[in-house]
Structure 1
Amino acid sequence: MLDDFVDQILAPVTHDLGGFKVHRVLPARDRTMVGSFLFFDQMGPGTMAAGQGLDVRPHPHINLATVTYLFDGAIDHRDSLGTRQRIEPGAVNLMTAGRGIVHSERSPGDERATGPVLSGIQTWLALPDALEESDPAFQHIAAAALPVIDQGGARARVVMGTLWGATAPTTAHAGTIYAAIDLAPGGTIPVDDGAEERAVYLAEGEATLDGMPLMPQRLYVLRPGIATTLASTSGGRVMLCGGDAYPTPRHVWWNFVSSRPERIEQAKRDWRAGEFPTVPDDHDEFIPLPDRPLTVSYP
């Protein structure tokens, strides 16, 4: 039975990638979006063997923005704009696909030598209708540039948008809130009711929401207009996400997102025909178009 302040609880689909697991709570059969968030993955925590590493070969995206935030480890991002950026814990990588971009994600060489650790969250944000075909772009915000709120035994880093009176410098294409909250034992922090749609996700440890215990790797979609409080007895790590509700639905197929199904069909044809741009220093291999993708929307 749901509480007065929780609208839905979404359970993950879990994939074991060898060395670490990925828990995916969006898109789900019962809900495809919370604000502009339409894809929500927790990577790890996990440790790979020495000499191994994460190797996500070049692949395409359209009409979305990806947001990568790490708790532990490091990833080398490369894309068809010529970007090469290492991301480490507390920083954020924002890649705006717009009309089309190709990127890869790999463990850095120094991490591979000892056996990479990996723990973090990767999300996709739907671009507003008017920005779906915008120019692709990339933005890296260092951890030191993101505002941090310390209060009540909680340390919250604002990844995107405005929360607790602080605004992140990360570009927001729509009204968006996103924060990583570390709760010390006995810590508390309010979850205000300012955003139209909100959800909380317990990534690690233990936490409660107005006294209701949160289960790990579940996305709790909150009812609008109700202020609540996160708390922890023994310590926990929680993500808060959401923002403005989208007036038009989004379709998801593999790495392609769009408000128009025909645009996804065009992207399929373009990737199959090799018409996307390539990653300048990582173009010898790529992920082919699948027959049956793991990521699909549920219209």
Structure 2
Amino acid sequence: MTHALVIGEALVDVVHAADGTVTEHPGGSPANVALGLARLGRHTELATWLGKDARGRLVSDHLTASGVHLVPGSDHAERTSTSQATLAADGSATYTFDLTSRVPEVALDDTVAVLHSGSIGATLAPGGAAVAEIAAAAREHATISYDPNARPTIMGAADSVRGHIEHLVSLADVVKVSDEDIAWLYPDDDDIDAVRRWSRSGPSVVILTRGGTGSVGVTATGVEVEVPAPRVDVVDTVGAGDSYMSGLLDALWTARLLGAKRRDALTLIDADTLRTAMERAARIAAIVVSRAGANPPTRKELENEVVG
């Protein structure tokens, strides 16, 4: 059976709502991507770094209940990492972190259809170097996907991580990046110009997400597609980008464009196929922002729910 392998942080989001209430939810960008893929029926493994503590059990129970398989060794951290998420009145979130990251040993072979990494675990030492090595090795077998999902409060200055992020982009076949990420990395550049530049550095597809205004896809062959975001009442934006990522990968999987043997076909993706994938991803993200926390839909819910 082919499967997705996701590498990166799983943690507990300590959410401070605008009304002063505080709640704790399992989170972490790569963990959210794994959750989204598993809920869509994809066999998904997550290599992460959790503690054997109450918060670690909260995260692992949450993930395994939806079908995510934790890679052995993922629970060897001294404690489970946390993020403090502060929600504004419009539902947008800002984050601060208490996080450590390591990468447990992973198996790479032709059963891995896609290897996804991103965010803090892909940049924070020492795990970031391991992620880059694994991504390079996995290209023999799998599609490589990457989401920078920048968190300046823990990643530091953009100058200190830009080169590493650009290296991970060059190793990837599919990249999703937000307009906020681009603004942080390249404050003097137009966001679509930066994405076009990335699309010429290695990836077959680069997607730029712009929150409620939609997303733009750019391919290595010069195809560009713009997709509006569905209209929806926003509860909060936690996990929206991660859910977009999992929806995009699921759609490309359905189109038989994942796996190293399909790399040439992915490079030649046409506008209609890309638009279909982006529309599906946008619909999933819209469902997530209409709910509290990172709570992506199952495949059955997606088939039955209308958004907008």
Q: TM-score, normalised by structure 2?
A: 0.28
Q: TM-score, normalised by structure 1?
A: 0.29
Higher Cα radius of gyration: 1
